[in-house]
């Protein structure tokens, strides 16, 4: 029997790695992957708690987190594609870009 | 004993691949290592008696979302994308969050599960549960399920709207 | 126990949202039948949807103080929800009215825009009603996903693309933080219902879980309302998004995030008020300071309004720090007044957009008094209100906040809150100087379309009326606090 604190520690490590990846990486797509890593850690925590309480709503929550991750990925990757496509055709009307 | 071994195997696999996700330079490698992390987590889900999520994780996350990622990595010229967005101004926010997480980690290790005050898991309490998860989803959580359908519709509209080929440039330009 | 199929009484509770979703779907289908010159029909349909939803919501107004729980406690229909629901519907209607002309100029007039706005409103309403972690999370994402797409709606505009990307990355990151906090909340209670979690919080089983949950949830929510130090996305997103969407994000999404913030802090985190009062006070002070100081040097009107909106967030948070009845009433009233005065200010920026001119630089305001006196005068009214000078709604909002701080003996915060009116007056006055004293750089006279006139009239009426005839508005804000949110 593995103690739940081990699962929670694993979840915290994965979450921390996701946060670090998000803040220190330069590549947009890797930033997205870091967010997926964070959500994955959240899922692990939910499943652990669900097991401890013997109660299933934690598992249902994970199901919704995965839906949300899918929706975010779809919208985000569409925006990345759009941005990549627009790089060549810069609109002269708006030259000053955001201070990114 | 077997349970402990399984846990350490999957945990090590998950952590090592997660470290590689955030350290390797090539985005395709990152994606592959992320898939490994997700699969290792799926293994732990199975150990925690969440077989429905085990299947969802593999089919939806690895099979759906990650394939989308790899697809886009291949499509987009990454060298240019690299310089598009920078978040270094927010680095110190990282400190805050990582500290909070590290705090929890230290406490969780130091206290052990008894001090966390969680109820002890009954060994057979959650087995086998795909049917119960389904019932739970459509009884207590039917409303969020319906809201999620709107969320997915929005995502679909968004992806089509932003992704579809554009009309010829406007007349004034 | 909830059954597989909801009974009609439960469906009546979510009828406002059902109407919005139905009209959103109808617009998506209808759009195919419309020619390029008939796209305004979409806007009309969206307004009808808002109206239908408003009628359904009006029927729910009689709910008693504790509210009516629905769907096994997943949502609650209480005065708090009804108040915020009307706030969302009002701002949605205003933004729809302002969008028609703008989208025609941008040549991006399509039905999806209005459908996404209605879906965003559905998310916001469930957010205000949600008493379950799952509902809150999914509703928040529905709202946010709609806003990501709306921000990037001008596909040919690189600024809009980049704003959408930045919004989405930071939004998804903050959702991750929030979800982690939610997982700990679930771990404490073994349930996703807020009431159960509230009970668990009174007798926490250990020291560490409440703190981690508080930090993660607060950080996630501060991102959503753009409080310092999580505000970085706001100026870029405000500048890059289409201006009506900017108005919408700054008003409606902020109100929705505050609704869930209030519910979580007052229902769940209230037992540990001693721990978060100082934290929240510090965040509010930093937010006011940074927002006001950064606004001083802006040359772009949208960026200036973005920083000023950050400052307003600081003021609204102070109401929660005070935590008494006046403070919460002040928050509700402030959000209400802010919705109208800020939309009004953005409406003037929208007026200046025409073919070939973006019109969001401070210099584009030059000589507006000669080019369109009505617009210039209205802008002055909105700016006076935003600065918090009587006789406007903004003044009354600030007054309630100050009063609550003094009542709860937060004198230092009260002093700072009053002092920061000075820089606010300065930077709002810069816009006035540009409008009244600078030579007009171009002679075009921005016209006001009928739809924009209606929206402007509504904004002006509330901005001025809320103080001169304050009683019903204050009663409205007080009404919002009846119920389970405040004990």
Tens digits of residue pLDDT in B112-136? 655 566 666 665 555 677 888 888 8
For residue B93, the chain A residues in CB contact (below 8 A) are: 23
Q: Band the pLDDT of C56: cuts 50, 70, 90.
A: very high
Write the CA distances from B95 to B91, C181, C231, integer angstroms: 7, 17, 17
- Is residue B109 very low, low, confident or very high in pLDDT (cuts 50, 70, 90)? low
Whether the predicted pLDDT of A93 surpasses 50 = no
Rounded Cα distance between C392 and C22, Å, is 37
Q: For residue range C456-467, list pLDDT tens digits in order.
A: 999 999 988 887
C264 touching chain A per CB within 8 A: no
A residues 14-53 closer than 8 Å to C (CB): 15, 18, 22, 28, 31-32, 35, 38-39, 41-42, 45-46, 48-50, 52-53
In sequence order, which residues have a C-beta less than 8 Å from that of residue C345 and are 6 or more positions away? C305, C379, C382, C383, C386
DSSP letter for B65, please: I
Peptide bond into B163 cis (omega under 30): no
Does the model's pTM come out above 0.90?
yes
Q: What is the mean pLDDT of the segment spanning C325-335?
A: 88
Using DSSP's 3-state secondary structure scheme, residue C68 falls into strand
Burial of C428 (0-12, 13-18, 19+ CB in 10 A): buried
Give tens-digit pLDDT for C295-310: 998 889 999 999 999 9
ipTM of the complex: 0.91
Q: What is the Rg, in whole angstroms, of the alpha carbon atoms belonging to chain B?
A: 21
Residues 6+ apart with CB under 8 A from C283: C222, C227, C228, C317
Residue C276 has pLDDT above 60, yes or no: yes
Where does the pLDDT of residue C246 fall: very low under 50, low under 70, confident under 90, or very high at 90 and above?
very high
* Burial (0-12, 13-18, 19+ Cβ within 10 Å), C140: buried
CA-to-CA distance for C183 and C1, rounded, in angstroms? 24
Residue C49 pLDDT: 96
User: Taking a C-beta distance cutoff of 8 angstroms, is the pair C63, C14 a contact?
Assistant: no
Closest-CA residue of C relative to A11 is: C180
Please choose, from the candidates A47, C187, A15, C177, the residue with its C-alpha nearest in 3D space to the C-alpha of residue B105: A15
Nearest CA in chain A to C173: A35
Q: How far is C429 from chain B (nearest CA, A)?
A: 30
For residue C361, which phi and psi values (nearest 5 degrees)? -85, 155
Helix ranges (H only) for C249-367 are 254-263, 273-295, 301-322, 325-351
Residue C3's Cβ-count burial label (10 Å; 0-12, 13-18, 19+) is exposed
Residues in Cβ contact with C472 at an 8 Å cutoff, skipping those fewer than 6 apart: none
Contact (CB<8Å) C139/B100: no
Q: In CATH, which of 3.10.20.440, 1.20.140.10, 3.30.1540.10, 1.10.287.3510 is domain A4-94? A: 1.10.287.3510
- Rounded to the nearest integer, the mean pLDDT of chain A is 82
**Of the listed ranges B69-78, C19-28, C54-63, C226-235, the one predicted with least confidence:** B69-78
Q: How far is A94 from chain B (nearest CA, A)?
A: 11
Provide the Cα torsion C217, C219, C225, C228; round to 10°. Answer: 160
Q: Per the CB < 8 Å rule, is A31 touching C239?
A: no
Question: Does the pLDDT at position C294 exceed 80?
Answer: yes
pLDDT tens, position by position, A8-25: 889 988 998 998 888 877
pLDDT by residue (tens digit) across C85-108?
999 999 999 999 999 888 888 887
In angstroms, the CA C188 to CA C177 distance is 17
- CA–CA separation, C124 and C146 (whole Å): 11
CA atoms of A43 and A66, how far apart (whole Å): 9
CB B52 within 8 A of CB B35: no
- Mean pLDDT for C206-220 is 87
Nearest CA in chain A to C147: A75
């Amino acid at each position: 029997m593995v103690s739940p604190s081990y699962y929670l520690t694993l979840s915290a490590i994965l979450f921390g790695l996701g946060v670090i990846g998000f803040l220190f990486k330069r590549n947009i797509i890797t930033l997205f992957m870091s967010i997926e890593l964070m959500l994955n850690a959240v899922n692990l925590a939910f499943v652990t708690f669900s097991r401890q309480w013997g109660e299933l709503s934690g598992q249902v929550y994970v199901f919704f987190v995965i839906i949300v991750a899918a929706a975010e990925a779809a919208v985000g990757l569409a925006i990345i594609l759009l941005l990549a496509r627009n790089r060549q055709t810069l609109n002269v009307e708006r030259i000053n870009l955001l201070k990114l | 004993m077997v349970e402990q071994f399984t846990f350490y195997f999957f945990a090590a696999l998950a952590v090592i691949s997660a470290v590689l996700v955030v350290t390797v330079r090539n985005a395709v490698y990152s994606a592959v290592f992320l898939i490994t992390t997700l699969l290792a987590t799926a293994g732990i889900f199975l150990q925690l008696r969440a077989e429905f999520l085990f299947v969802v994780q593999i089919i939806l996350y690895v099979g759906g979302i990650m394939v989308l990622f790899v697809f886009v990595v291949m499509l987009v010229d990454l060298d240019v994308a690299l310089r598009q967005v920078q978040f270094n101004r927010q680095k110190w926010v990282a400190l805050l969050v990582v500290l909070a997480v590290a705090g929890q980690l230290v406490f969780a290790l130091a206290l052990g599960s008894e001090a966390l005050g969680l109820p002890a898991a009954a060994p057979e309490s959650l087995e086998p549960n795909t049917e119960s998860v389904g019932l739970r989803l459509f009884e207590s959580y039917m409303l969020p399920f319906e809201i999620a359908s709107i969320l997915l519709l929005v995502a679909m509209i968004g992806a089509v709207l932003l992704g579809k080929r554009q009309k010829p440039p406007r007349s004034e330009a | 126990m909830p059954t597989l199929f909801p009974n009609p009484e439960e469906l009546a509770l979510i009828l406002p949202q059902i109407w919005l979703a139905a009209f959103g779907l109808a617009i998506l289908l209808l759009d195919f039948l419309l020619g390029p010159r008939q796209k305004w029909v979409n806007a009309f349909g969206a307004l009808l949807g808002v109206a239908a939803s408003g009628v359904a919501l009006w029927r729910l107004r009689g709910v008693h103080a504790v509210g009516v729980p629905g769907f096994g406690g997943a949502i609650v229909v209480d005065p708090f929800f009804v108040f915020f629901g009307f706030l969302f519907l009002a701002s949605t209607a205003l933004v729809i009215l302002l969008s028609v002309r703008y989208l025609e100029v941008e040549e991006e007039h399509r039905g999806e825009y209005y459908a996404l706005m209605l879906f965003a409103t559905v998310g916001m309403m469930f957010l205000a009603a949600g008493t379950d972690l799952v509902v809150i999370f999914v509703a928040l994402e529905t709202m946010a996903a709609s806003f990501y797409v709306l921000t990037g709606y001008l596909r040919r505009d690189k600024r809009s693309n980049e704003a959408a990307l930045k919004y989405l990355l930071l939004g998804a990151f903050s959702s991750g933080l929030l979800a982690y906090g939610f997982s700990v909340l679930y771990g404490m209670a073994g349930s996703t219902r807020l009431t159960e979690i509230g009970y668990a919080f009174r007798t926490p089983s250990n020291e560490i879980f409440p703190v981690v949950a508080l930090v993660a949830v607060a950080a996630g929510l501060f991102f959503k309302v753009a409080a310092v130090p999580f505000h970085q996305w706001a100026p870029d997103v405000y500048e890059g998004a289409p201006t009506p969407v900017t108005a919408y994000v700054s008003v409606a999404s902020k109100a929705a995030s505050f609704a869930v913030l209030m519910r979580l802090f007052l229902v769940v985190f209230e037992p540990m008020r001693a721990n978060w009062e100082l934290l929240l006070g510090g965040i509010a002070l930093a937010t006011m300071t940074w927002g006001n100081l950064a606004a001083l040097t802006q040359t772009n009107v949208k960026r200036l309004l973005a920083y000023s909106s950050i400052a307003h967030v600081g003021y609204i948070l102070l109401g929660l720090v005070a935590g008494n009845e006046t403070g919460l009433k002040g928050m509700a009233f402030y959000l209400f007044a802010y919705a109208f005065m800020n939309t009004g200010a953005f409406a003037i920026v929208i007026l200046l957009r025409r073919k070939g001119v973006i019109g969001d630089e401070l210099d584009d305001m030059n000589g507006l008094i000669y080019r369109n006196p009505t617009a210039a005068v209205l802008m002055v009214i909105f700016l006076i209100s935003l600065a918090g000078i009587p006789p406007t709604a903004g003044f009354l909002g600030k007054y309630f906040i100050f009063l609550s701080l003094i009542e709860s003996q937060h004198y230092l915060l009260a002093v700072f809150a009053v002092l920061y009116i000075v820089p606010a007056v300065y930077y709002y006055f810069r816009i006035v100087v540009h409008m009244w004293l600078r030579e007009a750089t171009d002679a075009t006279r921005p016209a006001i379309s009928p739809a924009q006139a209606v929206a402007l009239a509504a904004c002006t009426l509330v901005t001025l009326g809320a103080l001169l005839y304050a009683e019903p508005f204050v009663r409205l804000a007080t009404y919002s606090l009846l119920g389970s949110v405040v004990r």
